[in-house]
Chains A and B, each alone.
Chain A
Amino acid sequence: MNVYIRNILRFCVLVLLQVLILNKIVLRWWAEPTGFPVFVPYIYPLFLFLLPFETPVWAMLFCGFALGISVDTFTNTAGMHAFATVLIAYLRTNVLTALLPRNLSEYSGLQPSTRNMGWSPFLVYTGFLLLLHHLVFFSIELWNLTNLGHLLLKTFASTVTSLLFVVAYLLLFTRQDNARV
């Protein structure tokens, strides 16, 4: 399948999955200890993580903005998701350069995946950017630092859960075999 069509489809699938299903479930980590923040897992940034390696930074930024604004439209949080996604879109190339053994230009025609990178580098890459996204988003949403513990707890719990959902998505929707490049 053409790389453009595949990514546009993935954009739609992830946004709809996020908006119609994940946003509806209220998660409290484990049972329901009182005072534990309610949170939502956000997996839609996965679209940015899976764009091809050679996507230029300016295109990443526009994709990030479009993605964020689409989710914002559905959740009535104009700009909040977009702020976080533009940030991770900007930093993605740097994180990839730091994590990968070879120069990014050598990976032409490929996209980041567990197959191309191996599980642990991919999870570090996804986990770090997700953590950043959640931290930025929840900080903007709460918009006060008086309850720092609450914010950090919410970010941490949400990131862990999002990561689980990301792994589930990868296992379900991407081809898994042992061939590594």
Chain B
Amino acid sequence: MRNFIFFIRRFFNLILFLGLEITCIVLIQRTGTMQGNDIISSANAVSGLVYKKQSDVVYYFGLRRMNDSLLRENANLRKMISGYSSIDTLADSVGIVDIPATDSTRHIVRFSDYIYRTARVINNSTNATDNYITLNRGSDDGIGRNMAVISGTGVVGRVEHVSRHFSSVLSVLSGKQKVSARLKDGTNGLVIWEGGNASTLVMVDVPQQVVVKKGDSVVTSSYSLYFPPGVLIGTVIKAEQVKKNTLQRIYIKSSTDFSRLQYVYVVENKMSKEKNTLESQNTEGKK
């Protein structure tokens, strides 16, 4: 027993050192799996508050740019609305197209519903390996884990940690996140970020026969678990053949300027839970 105590006292520092390092390794491990660690993230009360205070000050410098982007978004939305109304007037002359009344599509219209909530970006990074964005809304405002985050110009990321008043979002600029994407001709694939430049994304494993032009738009596909379909991801810069196999890689310029995010929309998919339960039954069946 005495020897044991001597041993502890002699190597106390080393033991403490190893203990702390192991704690760190455990923490790092746990961030790899998506659960837990809400306390050690920028969603916690203290760091959220600090970031909010900073954002309150810096906010005013970007008002002009934000105003421009909102105007542009409004213009786009107006264009879309005018498109719908022109169809409606056509429909008037041809006959009655009353979607809610037709029974077969009714619950699709009612339930495939996304709730959009606005949030302000209070912290943002583009230079880490996995980039995070902190928003000034949390569970009190109805934000939940795994909701999609988009901006007026395109995809942004997915909510990973939530506290009462803040949430932190894993941005698309991360090795941990793949976005299910669709090209103009309907080809589906995955868009990833490979580090480096904050505006270049890559769509991998696209079949060789697919032809893309520079400037083609890439949007989220309807396979995505989180994102609503049809949200712009970016435009094609170039396609590159992979020598090893018959696939090609498509480089995409992201439409969102990640370094200048100010307002985003958090999108809640009301159907995602049901979809997930249904799809998890499929995998259970295989076991």
Contacts and interface: CB of A to CB of B under 8 A. Distances in A.
A and B interact physically: yes
B27 A79 contact: yes
Interface string B36-63: 0101111010110011001000000000
Nearest to A36: B196
Of listed A40, A72, A142, residue having the most chain B CB within 10 A: A72
Interface string A80-113: 1011001100100000000000000000000000
B125 interface: yes
A82 B31 CA distance: 14
Contacts of A39: 127
B132 A61 contact: no
B50 A20 contact: yes
Interface in B104-138: 123, 125-130, 132
Nearest to A68: B24
A39 B46 CA distance: 26
Interface stretch (B11-19, B92-100, B218-226, B273-281): B11-19
Contacts of B127: 23, 26, 38-40
A68 B40 CA distance: 11
A78 B17 contact: no
B168 A76 contact: yes
Nearest to A64: B20
Nearest to B17: A90
A81 to B, nearest CB: 9
B101 interface: no
Given A73-B42, A76-B132, A140 B50 contact: no
B25 interface: yes
Interface string B136-169: 0000000000000000000000000100000010
B41 A73 contact: yes
B119 to A, nearest CB: 17
Nearest to B54: A20
Given A38-B127, A82-B24, A83-B21, A61 B30 contact: no
A58 B25 CA distance: 19
A11 interface: no
B158 to A, nearest CB: 13
Interface in A104-161: 140-143
A72 B40 CA distance: 7
A57 B30 CA distance: 28
B229 to A, nearest CB: 28
A169 interface: no
B1 interface: no
Contacts of B47: 19, 73-74
A77 interface: yes
A16 interface: yes
A75 interface: yes
A61 B126 CA distance: 31
A39 B28 CA distance: 21
Contacts of A68: 24
Contacts of A87: 21
Contacts of A24: 125
Contacts of B129: 141-143
Contacts of A80: 24, 28
B5 interface: no
Contacts of B24: 65, 68, 79-80, 82-83, 86
A78 B47 CA distance: 13
B25 A76 contact: no
Interface of B: 12-13, 16-17, 20-21, 23-28, 30-31, 37, 39-42, 44, 46-47, 50-51, 54, 123, 125-130, 132, 161, 168, 196, 198, 259
25 contacts: A16-B50, A20-B50, A23-B125, A38-B196, A40-B128, A57-B13, A58-B13, A61-B17, A65-B23, A72-B40, A74-B47, A75-B42, A76-B41, A76-B161, A76-B168, A77-B130, A78-B31, A78-B37, A79-B24, A79-B25, A79-B26, A79-B31, A80-B28, A82-B27, A140-B28
Given A19-B47, A76-B130, A90-B17, 15 more contacts: A40-B127, A57-B16, A68-B24, A72-B40, A73-B44, A74-B47, A74-B51, A76-B132, A76-B168, A82-B24, A83-B21, A83-B25, A86-B24, A141-B128, A141-B129
